[in-house]
Chain A
Amino acid sequence: MDDGSMDFTMDELREFLEGDALDVRADPEFKESLRRKLWEMMRARRQRPDGEDGT
Chain B
Amino acid sequence: MAQDRKNICKSVASPRASVHPSDRELIDGIRRGSELHFTYLYDRYFQRIFGFVYLRMRNRADAEEVVQETFTAVYRSIDAYRGQSSLAAWIYGIAKNTVNNHIRRSRAQSQRVEKAEAELTRGLQNLDACTPEEHLSLRRCEDAVRESLESVGEWHAEAFVLRHFEDLPIDEIARRVCRSNDAVRSSLYRMKKLLVEAVDAGAAAT
Given contacts A6-B89, A13-B88, A16-B88, contact A39 B35 (CB under 8 A): yes
- Chain A, interface SS category: helix
Q: Is the CB of A13 within 8 A of B42?
A: no
Please report the C-alpha to C-alpha distance between residue A25 and residue B46 in the assembled complex, in whole angstroms.
10
Q: Is the CB of B55 within 8 A of A1?
A: no
Asked whether any CB of chain B lies closer than 8 Å to the CB of A2, the reply is yes
- Chain B, interface SS category: helix
A-B contact count (CB 8 A): 105
Residues in B whose Cβ lies below 8 Å from that of A34 = 67-68, 71
Residues in A whose Cβ lies below 8 Å from that of B83 = 3
Which of B47, B64, B85, B97 is within 8 Å of A25, CB to CB?
Answer: B47
Q: Is the CB of B33 within 8 A of A46?
A: yes
Residues of A within 8 A of B (CB): 1-6, 8, 12-13, 15-22, 24-27, 30-31, 34-35, 37-39, 41-43, 45-46, 53, 55
User: Known contacts A27-B64, A37-B68; can you find 4 more A-B pairs with CB under 8 A?
Assistant: A1-B93, A39-B35, A39-B38, A46-B33
29 intermolecular pairs with C-beta atoms under 8 Å apart: A1-B77, A1-B80, A2-B82, A3-B84, A3-B85, A3-B90, A5-B97, A6-B84, A6-B93, A8-B93, A13-B92, A16-B48, A16-B95, A17-B48, A18-B51, A19-B48, A19-B49, A19-B50, A19-B52, A20-B48, A25-B47, A26-B46, A26-B50, A34-B68, A35-B39, A38-B71, A39-B35, A41-B76, A53-B76
